[in-house]
Structure 1
């Protein structure tokens, strides 16, 4: 299982600092949507230049013009981009077409899909995405009844390659691995830690055991 850090920071210097701290322990460096919006697509190029040996994930959350937006990210150096699972099927197909053109990967982000999620996961998997990110956003995680278990249950039931984002931390990453996830996405568990490098190191150890 790969470990992905979601760099939900708002400026490029902070992203480069965080990436430098944790790159040794993670496989994928994700530029969170706020970072891409704040710093621009050139931030993708900067992170890739600093860490050419890592997969760089541009979390665009594309909802329209899939081929155009994915192409912009791939040209900037992204290895993976996200398209919204709630988007029109043709938007997803367009992003996948851009991925085929550049030899890169597209991930369908299932944020905001709650009803019928397993069915939609299976549908988008057939559209050619590399895997599906079963994702609970920050607003959903803030609800008192939130639990990562629903994400894991849906991943197991869907039966397609998936990642998990939303509450991945030291106490849950083992369950994410056991559920069969391709990628575990950790955000605040790393970037809000007093020592992000140590936090990433511990998550890596727990992901492998």
Structure 2
């Protein structure tokens, strides 16, 4: 509530990663000023439906976070999309990124194959943000590329520049 009150013109994205009680948890976040919330893409369909119902009630958006969904990811992306989420975040967590052979290209290909609105999170860097944009992602979540940079402000500006180029 304090963040929304201080910045009413900004979107507040609450990364709940709800795994149960989707309608209840999403409603609590929306009532507190959230504009978007996440629900786990691996959660039960009823959990996703509940979060989406709360989003509709409050005129807000729900995003399905696909962290932990690796096997059958494209099929699950399509399933949760049909449940009414605004978009799907194809998310490789730090453990997945640490595996031998990990590449962001896998996430991008999954987004292309799924054919639904998606975002990418997991290993976005200044040299990969263009590929994320070109794959059709509506949102790029760049955490480590900013918080691990020597100059986080400059890194964020460069990412934004390349994302919109």
Q: Shorter-normalised TM-score: what interval?
A: over 0.9
**Cα distance in 1 for residues equivalent to 2:86 and 2:5:** 24
Q: 1:164: Cα distance to partner?
A: 0.2
After superposition, the C-alpha distances for 1:86-110 in whole angstroms (9 at most, x for unaligned) are 1111100000010011110000011
Q: Say yes or no: does 1:67 pair with 2:9.
A: no
TM-score, length of structure 1 as denominator length: 0.77
User: Which residue number corresponds to residue 161 of structure 1?
Assistant: 117
Q: 1:49: Cα distance to partner?
A: 2.7
After superposition, the C-alpha distances for 1:72-98 in whole angstroms (9 at most, x for unaligned) are 111111111000111111100000010
User: Which residue number corresponds to residue 47 of structure 2?
Assistant: 91
RMSD between aligned residues: 1.0
User: Which residue number corresponds to residue 112 of structure 1?
Assistant: 68
**Cα distance in 1 for residues equivalent to 2:103 and 2:5:** 37
Unaligned residue ranges in structure 2 (runs of 5+): none
**Cα distance in 2 for residues equivalent to 1:147 and 1:50:** 38
- Specify which of 47, 55, 58 is matched with residue 11 of structure 2: 55
Q: 1:52: Cα distance to partner?
A: 2.2
User: Which residue number corresponds to residue 130 of structure 2?
Assistant: 174
Q: 1:47: Cα distance to partner?
A: 2.5
Unaligned residue ranges in structure 1 (runs of 5+): 1-44
How many aligned residue pairs are there?
165
User: Which residue number corresponds to residue 140 of structure 1?
Assistant: 96
After superposition, the C-alpha distances for 1:19-43 in whole angstroms (9 at most, x for unaligned) are xxxxxxxxxxxxxxxxxxxxxxxxx
